[in-house]
Amino acid sequence: MIELFIFRFLLVCAFIISVYRFGDWKNLQNYYPTMLFVMVVNLSSCLLTYHHVLWGFGPDYFIKTSTVVELINSYIALPATVFIFLSRFPSSGKLFQYAYFALWILIFSTIELIDYTLGGISYQNGWSWRISTLFDFAIFSIVKLHHSKPFLAWSITFFLAAIILYLFDFHTAEMK
């Protein structure tokens, strides 16, 4: 349990240091709408899946509930990720852009695999680490799309949410 706490603590510190070091602060206003988009989508998914979770976060030495972990994700990790991801996105060269996507998917899937190995995350109702990795691909693609075409990104997000709700057997009676 202490190892999980140390991992999470170091991860939050890494997000804070990285956003300070790598964020394009003079253009924050350009990234802010997409940061809010990701926060709203994450918090909405937490609300919709309250009684039918696809993944849950285990307690550690200090943090005892999934809700606290999701709030840290929503208010620290995800906005920081979006800010850095968009700040450093390659402006030219499709190969560099694809490699950049691959790097971020690798980073996030590795973090999740470590979290899973430490018992910090568990999967339920048919979700798995492999599905999460595919989901990371969708997330980073939609984040990039939202930055330039927010309406299209919202449309795709609603469509993907409907597919996930259908594929993972959600029922409206299970929603909070």
Q: What is the pTM of this model?
A: 0.92
- Residue pair 85/140 in contact (Cβ under 8 Å)? The answer is yes
* Rounded Cα gap, residues 108 and 154, in angstroms: 22
Q: Which amino acid is at 34?
A: T
Tens digit of each residue's pLDDT (9 = 90 or more) over 138-154? 999 999 999 999 999 99
Cα–Cα distance measured from residue 130 to residue 113, given in angstroms and rounded to the nearest whole number = 10
What is the average pLDDT value for the chain, to the nearest integer? 93
Q: Is the pLDDT of residue 173 over 70?
A: no
* Chain segment 103-112, per-residue pLDDT in tens: 999 999 999 9
Encode pLDDT of 77-131 as tens digits. Answer: 999 999 999 999 999 899 999 999 999 999 999 999 999 999 999 999 999 999 9
DSSP sequence for 123-165:
E-TT--HHHHHHHHHHHHHHHHHHHH-HHHHHHHHHHHHHHHH
Residue 175 binned pLDDT confidence (cut-offs 50, 70, 90): low
pLDDT of amino acid 63: 82
Q: Is the predicted pLDDT of residue 12 greater than 70, yes or no?
A: yes
In tens, the pLDDT along 41-70 reads 999 999 888 888 999 988 887 888 888 889
